[in-house]
Amino acid sequence: MSAPPTRRRLARVPLLVWVFLLVPLAAELFWVFWPAANSFSLALTRWDGIGLAEPVGLQNFRDLADDPIFLTALRNNVIWVVGFGGLSVVGGLALAVTLNRPGPFVGLYRSAIYLPMVVSLAVSGLFWRVMYAPEGPVNAALGALGLESLERQWLADPAVALGAVLVAAVWRQVGYIMVLYLAGLKGTDGSLEEAAAVDGANAWQRFWRIVMPQLRGVSTVVFAVTVIDSLRTFDIVWAMTRGGPYNETQLLSTYMFQQAFTTGNLGYASAIAVVIFALAIGFIITYLARQARTED
């Protein structure tokens, strides 16, 4: 296609459309990109939010490397990305495949599993705090089953607290992933599967060789959504443990919040934000690049 027709087509776009496009763009630039860019420059300063920001170069990042809480948060974030991402994708996919076939109450199950997604993470967090309370339903159920030895201070014991929060987060996320995969499964071609069955492929082979490749588009979306969601996880941890006991369930996001707004180290907090940004972008770009290569 040559250039002139494109230009003519652009010229034919009515002014009103440009206005509709440019106003949100300006708002986006001002409200999203400008603050984001600011946080990059703040990361190179020491700033308490009151006085003048004092430039310190890369000192914040050097401090981060020696900060035991940051390292705990980073480790927890890795556990979180793998655990939250892995469990919710596996769980969501399994549920989607199970609930994709007709059966009694399938609609009811689907809505029931999706329901937690409707509730905000903060509310889910409060709900699970009640579940995990020392005399709460989880411990009571274990006691009733004669498993007293498994009773724990779920949110106060550093050995299990992060896992306990993870379960609550996955409980909510799994329904969302299920819906995404259900939509993907509706778009697969049933006749391919039938043909494979005629050729003697078993259910497992049919799923991995025939169905999964058709779900690649959905999987890309799910991967991106999951990585972004797990890196920005904040509310459920804040609602359930506030990063405690003694910072053992701190994630990068909660530690950033604590540094910024409790301790008032806005420069240091911005440095953490930059790390989160770099991680998210790194994950997504690597994945998309790999996807693009396999599609070529």
Partner 1 sequence: MSETTLTRRQLLAGGMTLGAAGLLAACVGTTSGGGGGGGSAGTGAVTLQNSIQDADPKAALEALVKAYQGGDVTLNSVATEQFRAQLTNYLRSGDSPEVLSWYAGSVARAYADEGLLLDVSSLWEGDGPCAGFSDALRSLSSDASGAQIFVPTNYYWWSVFYKRSAFEKWGVEPPTTWDEFHALCENLSGQGVAPLANGLSSTPWMASGWFDYLDLRLNGAQYHRELLAGEHAFNDPEVVAVMEEYKRLVPYFDKNAASYTAQEAATPVAQDATAMYLVGAFVSGYFPEDQRDDLDFFSVPVIDDAVPTAEEAPTDGFFAAARSDNHEGALDLLAYLASADAQQQFIERSRSSNLPTSPDVDTSAFSPLVQKGIALLNDTEEITQFFNRDSSDALQATADTALTKFLADPDSLTSILDEWQTAAEGVRGS
Q: Which of 32, 39, 81 is nearest to 60 (CA)?
A: 39
Of residues 18, 31, 40, 208, which one binds partner 1 by CB under 8 A?
31
The yes or no reply on residue 238 touching partner 1 (CB under 8 A) is yes
Report in angstroms the alpha-carbon separations of 197 from 40, 111, 186: 55, 31, 19
Q: What CA–CA distance (Å, rounded) separates 17 from 20?
A: 5
How far apart are the C-alpha atoms of 266 and 96, rounded to whole Å? 43
- Find the shortest distance in angstroms from Cβ 46 to partner 1: 6
Q: Is 121 in the site for partner 1 (CB under 8 A)?
A: yes
Query: Shortest gap between Cβ of 63 and partner 1 (angstroms)?
Result: 8
Query: Does the bond joining 24 to the residue before it have cis omega, within 30 degrees of 0?
Result: no
Stretch that binds partner 1, among 43-51, 166-174, 182-190, 278-286 (CB under 8 A): 43-51
Question: Is residue 59 a contact point for partner 1 (CB under 8 A)?
Answer: no
| Strands 54-55 and 45-46, sheet pairing | antiparallel
Say whether residue 264 binds partner 1 (CB under 8 A).
Answer: yes
How many residues sit in the footprint of partner 1 (CB under 8 A)? 42
Contact (Cβ atoms closer than 8 angstroms) between residue 272 and residue 250: no
Q: Give the number of residues written for the chain.
A: 296
The correct pick among 21, 32, 147, 289 for binding partner 1 (CB under 8 A) is 32
- With 0-12 CB in 10 A as exposed, 13-18 as middle and 19+ as buried, what is 136? middle
Using CB under 8 A, which of 21, 22, 37, 49 touches partner 1?
49
CB-side exposure of 159: number of CA atoms within 13 Å?
Answer: 4
Segment contacting partner 1 by CB under 8 A, of 76-84, 185-193, 234-242, 285-293? 234-242
| Footprint on residues 171-230 left by partner 1 (CB under 8 A) | none
Q: Which helix (H) or strand (E) holds 45?
A: strand 45-46
Is residue 46 within 8 Å of residue 268, measured between CB atoms? Answer: yes
Kindly state whether residue 134 participates in binding partner 1, applying the rule CB under 8 A.
yes
Distance in Å, CB of 247 to partner 1, minimum: 6
CB of 117 vs partner 1, minimal distance in Å: 13
String marking each residue 152-171 x if it binds partner 1 according to CB under 8 A: -xxxxxx-------------
Q: In the complex, what is the shortest distance from the CB of residue 76 to partner 1, in angstroms, rounded to a whole number?
A: 15
Q: What's the closest the beta carbon of residue 49 comes to partner 1, in angstroms?
A: 5
Please report whether residue 137 would count as binding partner 1 according to CB under 8 A: no
Q: Is the dihedral of CA 27, 28, 29, 34 positive or negative?
A: positive
Would you call 97 helix, strand, or coil by DSSP?
A: helix
Return the residue of 77, 253, 272, 283 that touches partner 1, per CB under 8 A. Answer: 253
Q: Which residues bind partner 1 (CB under 8 A)?
A: 27-28, 31-32, 46, 48-51, 68-69, 121-122, 132-135, 153-158, 232-235, 238, 241-242, 244-247, 253, 258, 261-265, 268
